[in-house]
């Protein structure tokens, strides 16, 4: 490794929203870092189907299309 070009890295504790904790080397300044999802709870690793909706997008989609659906059905009849 070349001198003085690499950021300082140290063991950091990562805390997931699911309660899982793990340590990894990181250049983050804080000693513990909170994450939304980790390998213990991500559906890719658990094999369970779970929709991740952190920004409320699914709710927004459902709201938008639950309004439009009856209109479309009425237009199809007419």
What does the binding site for Zn ion look like in residue numbers (CB under 5 A)? 16, 18, 20, 38, 40-41
Of 49 and 71, which CB lies nearer to Zn ion in the complex structure?
49
Contact (CB, 8 A) for 14 and 31: no
Q: How many other C-beta atoms are found inside a 10 Å radius of the C-beta of residue 48?
A: 9
Minimal distance, residue 35 CB to Zn ion, in Å: 7
Of 18 and 28, which CB lies nearer to Zn ion in the complex structure?
18
Of 15 and 28, which CB lies nearer to Zn ion in the complex structure?
15
Q: How many other C-beta atoms are found inside a 10 Å radius of the C-beta of residue 16?
A: 18
Minimal distance, residue 45 CB to Zn ion, in Å: 9
Minimal distance, residue 48 CB to Zn ion, in Å: 13
Number of H helices and number of E strands within the chain? 2, 3
- The terminus-to-terminus CA distance of the chain in angstroms comes to 73
């Amino acid at each position: 490794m070349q001198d003085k070009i690499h950021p300082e890295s140290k063991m950091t504790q990562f805390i997931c929203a699911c309660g899982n904790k793990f340590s990894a080397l990181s250049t983050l300044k804080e000693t513990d870092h909170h994450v939304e999802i980790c390998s213990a709870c991500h559906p890719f690793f658990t094999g369970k189907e779970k929709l991740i909706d952190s920004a409320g997008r699914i709710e927004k989609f459902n709201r938008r299309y639950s309004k439009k659906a009856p209109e479309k059905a009425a237009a199809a009849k007419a």
